[in-house]
Amino acid sequence: MGPLQDRINLLWLAIYLCCGGGLGARIVQLQVVQRAEYALAAERNRTQTIFQAAPRGRFYDRNGVVLATNEPAFSLIFLPPKGQTASDLAVLADELAKHLNVDRKGLQDRLLQAVREESAVRLAENLPTRTMFRLSELKTLYPGIDLVVEARRRYPFGRVASHLLGYMGRMDQHSWTQLKEVGYRIESRIGKMGLERVFEAELRGRDGGIVMEVDARGRLKGVLDRIPWQPGSNVHLTLDASVQKAADDGLRASLTGRGAAVALDPRTGDILALSSAPDFDPNDFLSSDPEVVKRTTQELPEFNRAISGTYPPGSIFKIIVGAAGLDAGRFTNAETVYCPGHTEIGNRVFLCWESKGHRTMSWFPGLTNSCDVYFYRMGLKTGGPVIEKYSAMFGLGAKTNIALKGERRGNLFGPKAKGSRPWYDGDTANLAIGQGEMLVTPIQMAVVTAAVASRGVLWRPHFTNRIEYSGGRAEYRQKPEQIGSVTMKESTWRDLHEAMRLVVSSGTGRPAFIPGLEVYGKTGTAQNPGKDHAWFVSFAARPGEVPSIAIAVIVENGEHGSSAAGPIARSMMLAAFGMPAPNKPAAPAGSPTLPSPADGLPGQGAGASAVPMRRL
């Protein structure tokens, strides 16, 4: 019995030691290792944070005009309390739907999602004052709802530069999965398109909030702390708001209301304007009326014709054909062609746009009057391979690498691009007047025009001037980036410039003539299955100065470049040089072309600004 009893005692001792050791280890874990975690959980049981969206960084144009800013707005927040059932949420959804004028089912789904995520959700934004007061009365009846003041995005000039600036919207599930790890909340708004999307990381500020004490039922009892927000970084663009507005207004009022316009500084590649029509008002995406948001989303003309639209260049391509033939020595500026209104090439008759004919044409009157017969013949003398070579030198068939998603490369056409298929004289004749399979984008033709203006420098188009970071980090400044060059004889550049000057002063581009400026241009009418597209490209300078603006405008189905696209380019040049339009008085000296609205939010004074560029 003695040895047996000893073994039993040892077994009980082992059991006591194991149980006691395990209990001690658990106590150590709870009191030491996980003390901070459980303390935080306990704190969460008595507090909730009502987040307040920080002011987003502003967009400024090159002259300091505010293109995107923020304003105070009331938002309805739901902080899911413990123990909420589906029936509780259904009652709350019924009550809120009456005041918010939204779909009850969708509202209930968002409440359920907030409960599942255990996070606050923004149910409504930019509430009208009357609605805000009504909802404030419900705070005492329903746990978890509150009203807070936040920063709301605002675009002071509505549709101006809408395709470039883009818009903001709610995250989809894919975006939420990616961004929740870097501090975004499920109700956060993000840039969905354009520069709002490109500069999301820079524009986004650090949200603030109000730390509230809550009771066991989730009712807010009082304020414990306030977390200050930090505004986002400001982006200063190369855009000229006056030039942009002239482009937008001109396209909107054009024959069809569809097209694109791009203006560049040929000295740097700065984008002065980038317009696509139809456009939209990005403020509509931030409306408190869900029907407005829904309708805007459904009708959004998201296709950016300036960088994604591809079109035959038509007669504006004659600039490149002439440059190729003159520079390669295939013809001289004095060589003549007789135009009776048509010409035969092989067994086909090729018509001139002027059915009566232009009679005897050489280089200068040939481009001034855009004589097709002259360019048929000079194109044949130049040859398809040479035209194709110079087209590639000017950047056609390649992306400009503007830092926006969706740019297309167009289609470079010529004997090499056609590959093993036969190349005929008829192909060369079509190519010589910008028809056939050659396709270009408006941004490409703006780069071509800027290269002609600068005598051969191809710049990468960029929209960033500088970024002023809100956290004290040194500001970013964008440097021009050359992406190519066109080397031609000085006599070729001289002949090209003089012919383009004559186009505007006495030829088809006369509607773009501006007294007091040196304006150079070329009209174009591009054939397509419907009505012809209308093109106009131009550059301009003050007398004695180098050109400071290069423009490409297309009006879809506008029929005639001279009457449809030329006046838009003219308005853009007038705006760029600060000249009043005809029959309109000049603005008082020192007054801005567009006013810069006040923000009205703390943390973003008028002096807080900055800007950069990014590769995508």
- Confirm whether 310 is domain-assigned: yes
Alpha carbon of 535 to those of 195, 258, 388, 553, 567: distances in Å?
27, 12, 21, 6, 11
**Do 267 and 199 have their domain in common?**
no
CA–CA gap between residue 20 and residue 13 (Å, rounded): 10
Alpha-helical runs (H) found in 270-414: 290-299, 305-308, 318-327, 363-368, 372-382, 384-393
* Contact (CB, 8 A) for 114 and 143: no
Give the per-residue pLDDT at 554: 98
Ranges 8-12, 29-33, 185-189, 418-422, most confident:
418-422
Q: Average pLDDT in the 192-208 region?
A: 91
Per-residue pLDDT tens digits for 49-71: 777 778 899 999 999 999 999 98
Same domain, 215 and 256: no
Q: What is the mean pLDDT of residues 517-534?
A: 94
Q: Tell me what pLDDT residue 269 has.
A: 97
Give the pLDDT confidence of 426-436 residue by residue, as tens digits: 999 999 999 99
589 domain-assigned? no
For residue 539, give the nearest of 571, 594, 500 by alpha carbon: 500
pLDDT at 607 over 50: no
For the record, the structure tokens of 140 come out as 């005492």
Task: Work out the pLDDT band at 157, boundaries 50, 70, 90.
Answer: very high
Do 196 and 79 reside in the same domain of the chain? yes
Sheet holding 208-214: strands in order across?
47-52, 208-214, 220-227
Out of 186, 221, 237, a domain closes at 237
Residue 515 maps to a domain: yes
For residue range 531-553, list pLDDT tens digits in order: 999 999 999 999 999 999 999 99
* Interstrand relation of 337-339 and 518-526 (parallel, antiparallel or unpaired): unpaired
Pick 463 or 589 by higher pLDDT. Answer: 463
CA distance 545 to 425: 42
Give yes or no for residue 321 having a pLDDT over 50. yes
State the Cα–Cα distance between residues 455 and 449, nearest whole angstrom: 10
Span 210-232, pLDDT tens digits: 787 766 655 556 667 888 878 89
Q: How long is the chain?
A: 616
pLDDT tens string 63-102: 999 999 998 888 888 877 777 778 888 888 888 888 887 8
**Residue 391 — pLDDT band, cuts 50, 70, 90?**
very high
Q: Quick one: average pLDDT of 197-218? A: 79
497/398 same-domain check = yes
The answer to whether residue 349 sits within a structural domain is yes
448, 382: one domain: yes
The rounded percent of the chain whose pLDDT value lies above 70 is 84
Q: What is the pLDDT of residue 268?
A: 97
- pLDDT tens, 253-265? 999 999 999 999 9
Are both 179 and 220 inside the same structural domain?
yes
Residue 530 pLDDT greater than 60, yes or no: yes
- H/E stretch holding 129: helix 129-138
Residue 448 has pLDDT above 70, yes or no: yes
Residue 202 lies in a domain: yes
* Position 605 confidence tier, pLDDT thresholds 50, 70, 90: very low
Instruction: Tell me which of 173-182, 280-289, 359-368 is least confident.
Output: 173-182
569 pLDDT above the threshold of 80:
yes
pLDDT of residue 136: 77
Mean pLDDT of 597-609: 38
Query: pLDDT of 250-294, one tens digit each?
Result: 999 999 999 999 999 999 999 999 999 999 999 988 876 777 778
**Same-domain check for residues 433 and 527:** yes
Is position 290 within any domain? yes
Q: What was the pLDDT predicted at 77?
A: 80
Mean pLDDT of 7-29: 65
Number of domain units in the chain: 2
The pLDDT confidence band at residue 109, using thresholds 50, 70 and 90, is: confident
Residue with tokens 């530069």: 161
The predicted pLDDT at position 288 comes to 66
CATH number for the domain that contains residue 93: 3.90.1310.10
Higher per-residue confidence, 8 vs 432? 432
- Within a domain: 21: no
39 lies in a domain?
Answer: no
Segment of 143-147, 213-217, 317-321 carrying the highest mean pLDDT: 317-321
Residue where a domain stops, chosen among 184, 208, 237: 237
| C-beta separation of 314 from 528 below 8 A | no
What is the residue-averaged pLDDT of the chain?
Answer: 85
Of 237, 259, 292, the position where a domain reaches its end is: 237
Looking at residue 427, which CATH number applies to its domain? 3.40.710.10
Model confidence, pTM: 0.81
Q: What token pair was written down for 580?
A: 């009043």
**Contact yes or no for 231/604 (Cβ under 8 A):** yes
Q: pLDDT band at 21, cuts 50/70/90? A: low
Q: What is the pLDDT of residue 14?
A: 67
- Assess whether 324 and 428 both reside in one domain: yes
- The better pLDDT of the pair 121, 249 is held by 249
| Higher per-residue confidence, 226 vs 24 | 226
**Do 432 and 523 belong to one domain?**
yes
How far is 512 from 501, CA to CA, in rounded Å? Answer: 11
Tell me how far apart the alpha carbons of residues 259 and 311 are, in angstroms, rounded to a whole number. Answer: 11
d(CA 557, CA 250): 15
Pick from 212, 315, 308: which is nearest to 260 by CA?
308
Residues 539, 564 within the same domain: yes
The secondary structure of residue 321, as a DSSP letter, is: H
Q: For residue 424, name the pLDDT band (cuts at 50, 70, 90).
A: very high
Spatial separation of the C-alpha atoms in residues 579 and 514, rounded to whole Å:
10
The amino acid sitting at 545 is E
Q: For strand 234-237 and strand 337-339, is the pairing parallel, antiparallel, or unpaired?
A: unpaired
Residue 234 has pLDDT above 70, yes or no: yes
C-alpha to C-alpha distance for 613 and 466, rounded to whole angstroms: 8
CA distance 141 to 120: 18
Q: What's the domain range around 74? A: 47-237
Tell me the average pLDDT across 485-512.
97
Contact 220, 77 (CB under 8 A): no
For 329-348, the pLDDT digits (tens) are 999 999 999 999 999 998 99
Q: Are 284 and 150 found together in one domain? A: no
Distance CA 52, CA 58 (A): 18
DSSP one-letter code for 57: P
Largest CA distance in the chain: 135
Same domain, 334 and 468: yes
Residue type, position 117, single letter = E
What is the pLDDT, as a whole number, of residue 119?
A: 67
- The Cβ-side half-sphere exposure at 86, using a 13 Å CA radius, reads 2
